[in-house]
Structure 1
Amino acid sequence: MISKNSASKSVTKTAGTKRKRSGRRSPLATVSLILVGLLTTGGAYALFTSTANADSGTTATTASSSQSAVNQGEKLFNANCATCHNINGSGTKAGPSLIGVGAAAVDFQVGTGRMPAAANGPQALEKPVAFTNSQIQELAAYVASLGTGPAEPSSKYLQANGNAAKGAELFRINCAMCHNVAGAGGALTEGKFAPSLKGVSAKHIYEAMLTGPQNMPVFNDLNIKPQEKADIITYLKYLEKNPSPGGFELGSLGPVSEGLFIWIFGLGAIVAVTVWLTAKSN
């Protein structure tokens, strides 16, 4: 006679065996899952790639032309800049490292003729540009490839169509102490100076704020936002298009120069007329 305990153990063992067998996977299931995953991933990648190429149709050409610009820029750099900045842009005693300065710094320095520098001095002076626009872009592409740095600004911030009043306020707060409230420039210490901003292109003004050349501080996008930079450019271009309503502006150097002019020429003229009238009566 079979006891109840033995019967229950037998039933339990049989049920457990069935559950174990029913949960076991076939070796082919794993292979099938891997194949499905590979096919899905490969198909998605192929679809994404074809879509991207369809949208931009020139992706491969752009990459190729970009690498070509870097190669040409490296040749120009080695021939014209490596003497001071080293063959790999790491810098020497005669010139700082260019790793991480970005394309914007190159476009400003080379595009305004400050680089290559004619001689060492308190600061690089603006002079005729030594390279063509395409060569400047190639140099910028090469230096940008050395390390991440500020890129050249978008054209939408260079149209001088922002808020001139807001730009004037920002300029007075951040720039006027060196460049004068009218952008006429001014003297600094040790033979350095803040240049006049009249006639400077909108692109170079933006790049100067972005990269901080010479003695100028860097105004990155956290300090002055791109649209605020555009407002400052709008204010400076407004000054160029609207001459002083008072007539002769005396270089826009402010009340000191105007007061000095009155003292020397105004009072001098009065004294001269007084002496002439006295001599005439005598």
Structure 2
Amino acid sequence: MKKLSARRRHPLAALVVLLLALAVTGGLYAALSPTEAKAEDTSAQSLAIEEGKKLYAVGCQSCHGTGGQGTSDGPSLVGVGSAAVDFQVGTGRMPAQQPGAQVPKKRNIYSQSKIDQLAAYIASLGAGPEKPWRGQYDPSGADIGRGGELFRTNCGQCHNFSGKGGALTNGKFAPSLKGVSDKHLYEAMLTGPQNMPSFPDSTLPEKEKKEIIAYLNAVNGSKAETPGGLELGGLGPVSEGLFAWVFGMGALIVLTIWLAARTAKARKS
């Protein structure tokens, strides 16, 4: 105990303790600090933005302006967010081939990595809806029946009750939703592309978006069933009623004429 007390009274004891404390603190900070990871993320994001800017200059700038501010040929992209870019470019609608009342879906010319770079650049111009991750749009376990109710209430007026699409005014149209990926369905509801209204989470929560996607997969998916028999395209009661009236009545008229002709011939003979 006397030796320990003597060491504590040594003039350098306090300095040694301070150095040890600083070393331990520095080591813990270096081990636990996320600075390096953050720096890597920031560097990767900056690189994506730079590459996206190059892609924008080639494929988008002529219509949307040098800084995404918009021109007479294209709307402003400031604040549209990465979700809108992922949808528009991922479905081939952008870059547009030619101006018109509505830009149709076509074959996509960009890889997903390039779409992500372009989305990163446009997202840097102003905050907007972010590209969703798989858990947000995966409809596994969602209530299909409830999704049907939500779809008929919010979407059926334009897209038809089963998502087959329909005509709008002035050359515009609601496209068919058959074959559209879950991610793009979610992004369309989130961002409201072209003539479609947007349904942010404050209006249509994530759970309800999943239910709508589940319903569309059920009625338009590869395993979709038609318990009532031939669906006649699923175009709705008006179109299907007209089909039944024209062809059904036409068949009855032809049958009536045929029977009358046979009866008249039989009487003559």
Give distance in 1, aligned partners of 2:124 and 2:29: 27
Answer yes or no: is 1:51 the counterpart of 2:32.
yes
Kindly provide the CA deviation profile for residues 47-75 of structure 1, in whole angstroms up to 9, marking residues without a partner as x.
Answer: 66742439xx7433322222111111000
Answer yes or no: is 1:100 the counterpart of 2:76.
no
Of 51, 71, 76, the match for 2:55: 76
Give distance in 1, aligned partners of 2:203 and 2:69: 28
TM-superposed CA distance for 1:258, in Å, is: 1.6
Alignment correspondent of 1:218: 198
CA RMSD for the aligned pairs? 2.0
Of 267, 276, 281, the match for 2:249: 267
1:240-259 to 2 correspondences below 5 Å: 240=221, 241-259=223-241
Give distance in 1, aligned partners of 2:92 and 2:257: 52
TM-score (norm 2): 0.84
Of 92, 101, 121, the match for 2:100: 121
Of 186, 189, 193, the match for 1:209: 189
Letter in structure 1 aligned against 2:32 = T
SS at match of 1:146: coil
TM-superposed CA distance for 1:131, in Å, is: 0.9
8 Å Cα contact 1:102-1:149 kept in structure 2:
yes
Unaligned runs of 5+ in 2: 1-20
Residues 61, 78 of structure 1: alpha-carbon distance in 2 compared, 3 angstrom cutoff:
same
Give distance in 2, aligned partners of 1:164 and 1:200: 17
SS at match of 1:97: coil
Give distance in 1, aligned partners of 2:118 and 2:31: 33
Of 148, 155, 164, the match for 1:168: 148
Alignment correspondent of 1:147: 126
Kindly provide the CA deviation profile for residues 121-158 of structure 1, in whole angstroms up to 9, marking residues without a partner as x.
Answer: 00111111121111111100110111100001121122
SS at match of 2:178: coil
SS at match of 2:128: coil
Give distance in 1, aligned partners of 2:166 and 2:30: 55
Give distance in 1, aligned partners of 2:157 and 2:32: 53
Letter in structure 1 aligned against 2:129 = P
Alignment correspondent of 1:111: 90
Kindly provide the CA deviation profile for residues 210-236 of structure 1, in whole angstroms up to 9, marking residues without a partner as x.
Answer: 111111111011000111111111111
TM-superposed CA distance for 1:248, in Å, is: 2.2
SS at match of 2:230: coil
Letter in structure 2 aligned against 1:263 = W
Kindly provide the CA deviation profile for residues 162-218 of structure 1, in whole angstroms up to 9, marking residues without a partner as x.
Answer: 111221111111111111111111111111011111100010010001111111111
Give distance in 2, aligned partners of 1:141 and 1:48: 31
Residues 273, 163 of structure 1: alpha-carbon distance in 2 compared, 3 angstrom cutoff:
same
Alignment correspondent of 1:280: 262
Residues 254, 48 of structure 1: alpha-carbon distance in 2 compared, 3 angstrom cutoff:
farther
8 Å Cα contact 1:167-1:228 kept in structure 2:
yes
Identical aligned pairs, as a percentage? 52
Give distance in 2, aligned partners of 1:223 and 1:48: 44
Point out the structure with max Rg over C-alpha: 1
TM-score (norm 1): 0.80
Alignment correspondent of 2:160: 180
8 Å Cα contact 1:250-1:257 kept in structure 2:
no
Letter in structure 1 aligned against 2:179 = G
8 Å Cα contact 1:111-1:136 kept in structure 2:
yes
Letter in structure 1 aligned against 2:173 = F
Total equivalences in the alignment: 239
